[in-house]
A = this chain, B = another copy of it.
Amino acid sequence: MRKRVTLKDVAQAVGVHVSTVSRALDPKTRHLITPEIADRILKASERLDYRPNAAAYSLKTKRTRTIGVIVPDITNPIFPPIIRGVEDALADQGYFAILANTDGKAGREAAIADTLLWRGVDGLVLASVERHDRLVERLLAEAIPIVTVNRRVEREDIASVVHDDRDGMRRVLAHLADLGHTRIANIAGPQSFSTGRERYEAFESVRAALGLDPDRRLVVFASGFNEDEGERCTAELLDGGVPFTAIVCSNDRLAIGAIAALRQRGLACPDDVSVTGYNDMPMLDRLFPPLTTIRIEQYQAGAMAAELLVEMIEEAPEHRKPRHIVLPVELVVRGSTAPPSPARNAARPKGRGRKAAVSENPAAG
């Protein structure tokens, strides 16, 4: 590894003092230096391939040009595009991202924040906050810039980039109503997350606005955004005995679970029950059936979050104003939604018993 060239080397080459070189190299202070000398310094630093030493820089300035990105699990397909967006935007500004996975565990979360903090990150992008988040409270006390992406906390003073969940839910329901559905079930996500909460609230209010049958028993809450919960909730809906012709799911993975559960009961999607997802994660178009869902701009969200954060970092702490950005969404109609077919409506049991829906199996008939 060839010896790194330092300011001193450049200074020596040009025949000036290191401080002069330092000033000439920083665009903000370059005006202090005679243009002709500055020019010679620039040339020399180029020629010698000078690279400032990041450690020395941070030691002196207390800025690392590094930001932490905290996600629950990078393995969850909705996060990579977000992370990619963050990194690309960061790179444009000369910043770097350090990635950390919490697995959604509070203990791990705290430990990670600790390490990231003493590592001296300049700010944090959080993709995993709950509506009331302990980690956020702690970071707030440290006065370190943060912005949440995808989800938000219920405080106005924390910057965020989210998607228009209300509009997304409106589009989903409008689409189903257009197809002729009136009895629509909802598998709502965990209410401790802003996404779960807002989609649920939007479902209720839009359903009312559209004049669709309201029924408490057609809403069931998942305890996590995963396939297993989708299956469990669907089973619960079917066992509930209340007829429905469509299931609106709070995210794609719940929807995938729902379709699997329907299939287990001998019900076909969309023939017997239409199903919608939310997020438009990759590969959805290759599923069977391809999933109708809401597309959100994940990459864009990540990029904007990063820009917002850098803005906050480079601004004086006193006039930092947390901004909130809401990105538009789009309905993607695929094969998992179709008009209800009254003749084959599996979810409208004739009997009344809890297991009514199960015993009925139109696909086998």
Contact = CB atoms under 8 A, between A and B. Distances in A.
Nearest to A112: B91
Query: Which of A57, A77, A119 lies at the interface centre, i.e. has the most chain B CB atoms within 10 A of its CB?
Result: A119
A256 interface: yes
A252 to B, nearest CB: 10
Determine how many copies of this chain the complex contains: 2
Interface of A: 1-2, 51-59, 64, 66, 73-75, 77, 79-81, 83-84, 87-88, 91, 96-101, 115, 117-120, 142-144, 256, 260, 282-283, 286-288
A256 B287 CA distance: 11
A64 B120 CA distance: 12
A78 to B, nearest CB: 11
Contact of A1 (B74, B75, B142, B282): B142
A69 to B, nearest CB: 9
Contact of A84 (B74, B84, B144): B74
A277 to B, nearest CB: 12
A74 B80 contact: yes
Contacts of A1: 142-144
Contacts of A58: 54-55
Nearest to A74: B80
Given A75-B84, A96-B119, A98-B98, 18 more contacts: A1-B142, A51-B117, A53-B120, A54-B64, A55-B55, A59-B59, A73-B84, A74-B74, A74-B84, A75-B282, A77-B77, A79-B80, A83-B99, A84-B101, A96-B98, A97-B98, A97-B99, A99-B99
A75 B118 CA distance: 29
A91 B112 CA distance: 9
Nearest to A290: B288
Contact of A52 (B59, B118, B288): B118
A214 B55 CA distance: 59
A138 to B, nearest CB: 12
A79 B83 CA distance: 13
Contacts of A97: 98-99
Given A77-B282, A96-B119, A101-B87, A56 B59 contact: yes
A280 to B, nearest CB: 14
14 contacts: A51-B118, A54-B118, A54-B119, A55-B55, A55-B56, A55-B57, A55-B58, A74-B80, A75-B80, A75-B282, A97-B98, A256-B286, A283-B283, A283-B287
A114 to B, nearest CB: 8
Contact of A53 (B52, B59, B66): B59
A364 to B, nearest CB: 20
